[in-house]
Amino acid sequence: MTETTILAAYGLLVLLTILLQVLGSLTQLSMGYLISSRDDPREVTGMTARINRALANSITAMVLFAPAILLLVLQEKTTTTTLLAAQVFMIARIIYLPVYALGVPAVRTAAWLAGFVATAVLYFLAL
């Protein structure tokens, strides 16, 4: 497994999160509303709302993670350390999604922090 493979796998995890968000929204909002212009905003609650927030956070994480990986690859600076940091990021994000959806705050925060630190390490290694 390479850093770019992990980046692609994370992209798939974000796509899965989008699918979960849509399916959750279907349980609380009508299909008619979901395919409408949505001029009348409606809010979801519970697990679906947490998945919405997890999705927003996952997109932010992707925006930070992808450039770090691409910089390392383009500069030919990938090492066992960069691979380990990418693996830590991916494992942290895999843990983050279900614990956020289930409302487990302390574990969610620890997973988020692990992914954030791993991303920061990747940027320092790209310098």
- Domain of 54 in residue numbering reads as 3-126
Quick one: 105 exposed, middle or buried, by C-beta within 10 A (0-12, 13-18, 19+)? exposed
Number of domains in the chain: 1
Q: CATH code at 107? A: 1.20.120.550
The predicted-structure confidence for 70-93, as pLDDT tens digits, reads as follows 999 999 999 999 999 999 999 999
State pTM to two decimals. Answer: 0.94
**Helix/strand/coil for 117:** helix
How far, in Å, CA of 46 to CA of 101, rounded?
Answer: 9
Q: Which residues contact 2 (CB under 8 A, 6 or more apart)?
A: 78, 83
The predicted-structure confidence for 1-50, as pLDDT tens digits, reads as follows 999 999 999 999 999 999 999 999 999 998 888 888 988 888 999 999 99
> Which amino acid type is present at position 117?
V
